[in-house]
Amino acid sequence: MPSGNDDQHDVESQQHQQQHSDSGSETAHAPHEDEVPEKQPEPEDQLRTSPKGPGEDSNNAQDPNLVTWDGPDDPENPLNWSSSKRWTTVAVVSYLTFLAPLSSTVPAPTVPYIIKDFAVADPKTEGTLVTTIYILAYVFGPLLIAPLSELYGRLPLYHACNTLYLVFSIACAVAGNMSSLIAFRFLAGLASSCPLTIGAGSIADIVPLRRRGLAMTFWVMGPLVGPTIGPLAGGYLAESRGWRWVFWLISILAALGWILGFIFLRESYATVILKRKAARLRKETGNMDLVSALDTGRSPRQLFAFSIVRPLKMLLFQPIVLMTSANMAMIYGYLYLLFTTFPRVFGGQYGFSTGSVGLAYLGVGLGSFLGLILTGAFSDRTVAALTKRNGGVHKAEFRLPPMFVGAFLVPAGLFVYGWTAEAHAHWILPIIGSAILGFGMMTIFTPSTTYIIDAFTVYAASGTAAATVLRSILGAVLPLAGEPMYDALGLGWGTSVLAFIAVAFTPVPFVFWIYGERIRKSERFRMDL
């Protein structure tokens, strides 16, 4: 485990980067002295930023009115947190991020019970909506949460969203009809998108670059492993206690997250911490000219306006964010598409009971877990080795090698799953195919997220928010097309269509490995953010 004192040189490097941050939803990262060049390129060398306010040049030691850290050992700096406090925060944020997607798929096996209980008119569409409406909320949640976190910090957003998530989860458990259940699921999804939006930034606030790969592995586990465990619990629980108990289980887990958040989470965003410090010093000294070194001079309305459009601008005009997010969105959409069709395959074709259908999801879960272990074990080591080979100069592209494996495993897993199910082969074979798919997804998802963070430094949270929006769209829409597609093409060719699309994305990590740095520094892709 790292200690705060070990990272003092990271703190010093962070000082310079954070002084150029102009978004509360963004984070400046602290590179390790062995991993970065002596002169680190400024964030403005990657993206053309808007003119700065009073905090533009916080390195000007002659200005006594700029409030910054009290040296590299300042205990208020999150990078100086103790090892136990740092990794407890990572654990709580990872749990919240795990809980959100877990809750998205827990009801999947219970849909037949819900349809029967409420006697819905359109079982296929409304039944699928119970799962997908939750994911659809992720399209809108990040666009609101990111700018609010700029104004009020990360901690208030965690507390508010955890509270709302608990309330709407309970509302789902007591819903009186299908319409209210779908509405409450949407609102719960909005609230649960908080850790998916700012969780990566929270971890980057407190974990330096040289250890970020391991920490991000735990965080990324939520979006991929969480959905695979949900149906297993949901299937057996609905079979034994009824579908409402599935939502009571979600509520209990949400209550635990609410408690852990209030006990252990603390504000970690430097902009908010220094803003409070400046306000405290103005009150103590009577000097009304004191201002945070990270103050941009923008009004709250301006900050909100800048932040709310930034993720979309990055998604549309930054090729790295666009293609990496599209790749993650593709595999995320496939994950939810398969989840909504597993009852058809293993229940209808192989005769599994409702509870046993949940066991079929363990293939994806086991594959994802193995991919998680591999990525976590080798990510930071690979980066360190490549950095050393590169003369001690770190590049964001050093996060990409695990994707070289995943780019081939994702389509391979889809082909195995689809054609073994089409041939009515033994049920273990499509599960093995789904496990290969899960392994490949993890080796793409984890390094893709860390790549965006390392590539765009102070705009990392906007980059990850953009990725969340895009993958949530596909995660919500693709499952709606699953049943009609499989009705028309069958399991073999239907899944092969998905695999061929995955094949088209195979070159993405190789292209960015060769041209990624050139793209990031290109004048063509600079933009006002």
Walk me through the domains of the chain, giving residue ranges and CATH numbers: 78-269+299-525 (1.20.1250.20)
CA distance 511 to 15: 33
Task: Detail the DSSP E strand segments found in 151-213.
Answer: none
Residue 213 contacts by C-beta under 8 Å, 6 or more apart in sequence? Answer: 375, 376, 379, 380, 383, 399, 450
Residue 79 contacts by C-beta under 8 Å, 6 or more apart in sequence? Answer: 4, 7, 10, 11, 14, 30, 205, 206, 208
CA distance 341 to 319: 33
The pLDDT score that the predictor gives to residue 15 is: 40
Mark 91-120 as b/e (b = at least 16 C-beta within 10 Å): ebbbbbbbbbbbbbbbbbbbbebbbeebeb
Q: Which amino acid is at 270?
A: A
The pLDDT score that the predictor gives to residue 128 is: 75
State both tokens at 428.
């273990």
Residue 109 contacts by C-beta under 8 Å, 6 or more apart in sequence? Answer: 231, 234, 235, 238, 343, 354, 355, 357, 358
- Ranges of H-type helices in 265-361: 270-285, 300-317, 319-342, 354-360
Residue 424 contacts by C-beta under 8 Å, 6 or more apart in sequence? Answer: 349
Where do we find the tokens 């929270």? 202
| Number of other residues whose CB lies within 10 A of the CB of residue 476 | 24
State both tokens at 475.
């995660």
CA distance 80 to 83: 9
Where do we find the tokens 């496990």? 435
DSSP reduced 3-state for 295: coil
Q: CA dist 526 to 47, 233, 234, 529, Å?
A: 5, 47, 47, 9
Per-residue pLDDT of the chain (529 residues; tens, 9 = 90+): 334 444 443 443 444 344 333 333 343 333 333 333 333 333 333 333 333 333 334 344 457 778 888 888 888 888 888 889 999 999 999 999 989 888 887 887 788 888 888 877 777 777 778 877 888 888 888 888 877 887 788 999 999 999 999 999 999 999 988 889 999 999 999 999 999 888 888 888 888 777 777 777 778 777 767 777 777 777 778 778 888 998 999 999 999 999 999 999 999 988 888 888 888 888 888 888 788 777 777 777 777 777 778 788 888 888 998 999 899 888 888 877 887 678 788 888 888 876 677 678 788 888 888 888 888 777 778 888 898 898 888 888 988 998 999 999 999 999 999 999 999 999 999 999 999 998 998 889 888 888 887 887 666 667 777 887 888 788 777 777 777 888 888 889 999 999 999 999 999 999 999 998 888 888 777 665 5
The pLDDT score that the predictor gives to residue 60 is: 44
The pLDDT score that the predictor gives to residue 527 is: 60
User: Which has the closest alpha carbon to 107: 239, 255, 247?
Assistant: 247
Q: Give the angle 57-62-68 at the CA atoms, nearest 5°.
A: 55
DSSP bridge partners of 291: 66
DSSP reduced 3-state for 291: strand
Largest CA distance in the chain: 79
CA distance 104 to 361: 14
The pLDDT score that the predictor gives to residue 254 is: 96
Q: Which amino acid is at 231?
A: P
The pLDDT score that the predictor gives to residue 54 is: 35
User: Which has the closest alpha carbon to 29: 204, 213, 219?
Assistant: 204
DSSP reduced 3-state for 292: strand
Q: CA dist 122 to 116, 276, 480, Å?
A: 11, 53, 13
The pLDDT score that the predictor gives to residue 45 is: 35
Q: Is the pTM value of this prediction over 0.85?
A: no
DSSP bridge partners of 292: 67
The pLDDT score that the predictor gives to residue 369 is: 82
